[in-house]
């Protein structure tokens, strides 16, 4: 029985299905000359099935697990290696030692710092820390109270060792999403609320994040050219919530909002191998994930078998009642720059397949 980084294929399938929120069913039958095992993994948008045979029951199950892991669930050894190592990139710009190629893979907020979502400068960090001495959660709640709109908070992830955990909390108001990662849920919630409040006050959000009334969409300043109050600003917005939960509605809404951004895939307008210094894919992925609330986690690049460079990222979906909870994609290239662009392209292709393509 071949192990993958200290675990059997069946252990990996069970573990990954639990993390992805997928249902798994095993059925093993004794045939005339061998055992035959069938493994079925059920996601929101369908099932994947694989079979395996072996002289013993355990071998049949492991063969079925290996088949569904690599074929049905579309994992690879480099992907599993990255997940097993769990070495996240604290700042994706550090992927390039010469610093000449800007990298903007983000945590879903448009900021680069994966350890502290939403904070990519010292000034931002100081501002976040100062917010802990106030009550941003109450302030955000009060700002929307007149509209009977309630900000929602969701724990997206818990990571780190058991003795020193970190929590990623998402604050959502309509289709505006802000996240924060801190050592306590209370601090993460407060900073996520602070960032949402700050973006609203400064009018630094993209109005396409909301369903807007066209007549009022540009009405964000008063007669003197000064910034409107939060109450006045949000009064011009129709907050219809985040993307819907059902698969059909989710595809419809995702296509409506982002369909044009994926036109290059339909037109087969893909960069040639020598043009990966162009950062179009990473910027596009950043934009779509920021607006949809998808959280990106990038793992430390590595060389596989001393040949190609690999970059692996995880996309965690914010859509309730949808599985898998996350997808893992990889990119490989002759250098890190090519690998990260191919990884971004692979992520875009996966989003297109899941949420747009019929």
Residues 233 and 158 grouped into a single domain: yes
112 in any annotated domain: no
Q: What is the 3-state secondary structure (H, E, C) of 88-149?
A: ECCEHHHHCCCCCCCCCCCCCCCCCECCCCCCCCHHHHHHHHHHCCCCHHHHHHHHHHCCCC
Range of the domain at 277: 85-105+245-355
Alpha-carbon distance of 195 to 50, in angstroms, equals 45
Q: Domain tally for the chain?
A: 3
Return the number of other C-beta atoms located less than 10 Å from residue 19's C-beta: 13
3 in any annotated domain: no
Residues 175 and 210 grouped into a single domain: yes
Residues 179 and 99 grouped into a single domain: no
Residues 207 and 301 grouped into a single domain: no
Residues 27 and 62 grouped into a single domain: yes
Residues 50 and 97 grouped into a single domain: no
Residues 97 and 70 grouped into a single domain: no
pLDDT of residue 120: 44
Which residues of the chain fall short of a pLDDT of 50? Answer: 91-120, 204-228, 232-244
Tens of pLDDT, residues 226-264 = 344 555 444 443 333 344 455 677 888 888 888 888 888
Q: How many helices (H) and strands (E) does the chain have?
A: 11, 12
111 in any annotated domain: no
Last residue of a domain, one of 205, 238, 271: 238
Residues 127 and 233 grouped into a single domain: yes
All residues at 6 or more sequence positions from 99 whose CB lies less than 8 Å from its CB, including other chains:
93
pLDDT of residue 77: 93
Task: Indicate which CATH number applies to the domain containing 256.
Answer: 3.30.160.20
4 in any annotated domain: no
Last residue of a domain, one of 238, 267, 285: 238
**Structure-block tokens of residue 302:** 């590595």
Alpha-carbon distance of 38 to 61, in angstroms, equals 7
Residues 224 and 328 grouped into a single domain: no
Residues 161 and 231 grouped into a single domain: yes
């Amino acid at each position: 029985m071949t192990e993958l980084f200290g675990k059997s294929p069946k252990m990996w399938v069970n573990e990954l299905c639990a993390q992805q929120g997928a249902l798994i069913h095993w059925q093993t039958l004794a045939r005339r000359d061998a055992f035959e095992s069938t493994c079925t993994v059920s996601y929101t948008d369908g099932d994947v099935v694989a079979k395996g045979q072996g002289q013993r029951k355990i071998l049949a199950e492991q063969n079925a697990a290996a088949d569904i892991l690599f074929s049905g669930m579309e994992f690879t050894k480099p992907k599993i290696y990255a997940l097993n190592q769990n070495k996240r990139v604290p700042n994706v710009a550090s992927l390039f030692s010469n610093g000449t190629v800007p990298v903007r893979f983000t945590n879903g907020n448009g900021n680069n710092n994966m350890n502290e979502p939403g904070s990519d400068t010292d000034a931002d960090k100081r501002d976040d820390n100062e917010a802990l001495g106030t009550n941003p959660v109450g302030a955000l709640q009060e700002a929307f109270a007149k509209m009977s709109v309630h900000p929602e908070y969701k724990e997206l992830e818990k990571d780190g060792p058991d003795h020193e955990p970190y929590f990623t909390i998402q604050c959502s108001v309509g289709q505006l999403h802000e996240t924060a990662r801190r050592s306590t849920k209370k601090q993460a919630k407060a900073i996520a609320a602070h960032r949402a409040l700050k973006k609203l006050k400064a009018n630094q959000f993209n109005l396409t994040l909301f369903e807007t009334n066209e007549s009022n969409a540009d009405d964000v300043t008063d007669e003197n050219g000064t910034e409107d109050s939060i109450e006045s600003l949000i009064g011009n917005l129709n907050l219809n919530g985040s993307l819907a939960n059902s698969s059909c509605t989710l595809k419809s809404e995702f296509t409506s909002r982002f369909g044009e951004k994926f036109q290059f895939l339909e037109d087969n307008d893909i960069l040639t191998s020598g043009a990966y210094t162009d950062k179009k894919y990473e910027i596009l992925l950043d934009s779509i994930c920021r607006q949809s609330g998808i959280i990106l986690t990038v793992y430390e690049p590595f060389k596989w078998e001393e040949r190609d460079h690999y970059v692996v990222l995880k996309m965690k979906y914010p859509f309730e009642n949808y599985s898998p909870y996350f997808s893992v994609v990889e990119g490989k290239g002759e250098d890190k720059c090519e690998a990260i662009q191919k990884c971004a392209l692979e992520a875009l292709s996966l989003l297109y397949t899941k949420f747009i393509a019929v």
